[in-house]
Amino acid sequence: MKLLIMSDTHLPKRGQDLPAQVWDGVAEADVVFHAGDWVLESLLDKLERRAKRVVGVWGNNDGPGLRRRLPEVARLELEGLRIAMTHETGASDGREKRCDKAYPDTDLLIFGHSHIPWDTLTPGGLRLLNPGSPTDRRKQPDHTYLTAVAENGALHDVVLHRI
């Protein structure tokens, strides 16, 4: 199962639309994840029309419309992989231990907020992924998003795409 993972699009402040490369990835993905800070509710509408499946959460910059439609934390299982997604996980110091405690029955935690790509494994074996942002790189050298494959209870072929 092909996954596309993004966060922190901040439309229309940081762009009018997603980059074409991301839309191409959306067309190829079985599931598109967005870890919050959409800002425009119309982006959720557009993704729902174009993607096979969308899983999203709201972020600190998302208004009441997105908060009514999306959870703060999403949990699902794909191909035997237990996934959770939230916008914020707190400071980078101590993140692995906090997430192990907060998400004990999870194999993969997707998060956003910092706009900084992140890929680590916690002491408890939880994979933490932050895709950065495809539209607001802040102090990062590139705009980014992730693709991966979920299969037989495992995540593989994780690729950080730089735009």
Q: DSSP string of 9-46?
A: --TTTT-SS--HHHHHHHHH-SEEEE-S----HHHHHH
What is the average per-residue pLDDT within 119-137?
95
**Predicted local confidence at residue 12, as pLDDT:** 87
Evaluate whether 44 touches 66 at the Cβ level (below 8 Å): yes
Helices (H), the chain: 20-28, 41-50, 64-69, 95-102
Label residue 124 by pLDDT band (50, 70, 90).
Answer: very high
77: left (phi over 0), alpha (psi -120 to 50) or beta: beta
**Predicted local confidence at residue 13, as pLDDT:** 83
Mean pLDDT, the chain, integer? 96
What SS3 state is found at 120? Answer: strand
Share of the chain above pLDDT 90, in %: 93
**Predicted local confidence at residue 41, as pLDDT:** 95
Tell me: pLDDT of 14 over 80.
no
Q: How many CB atoms lie within 10 A of CB 95?
A: 18
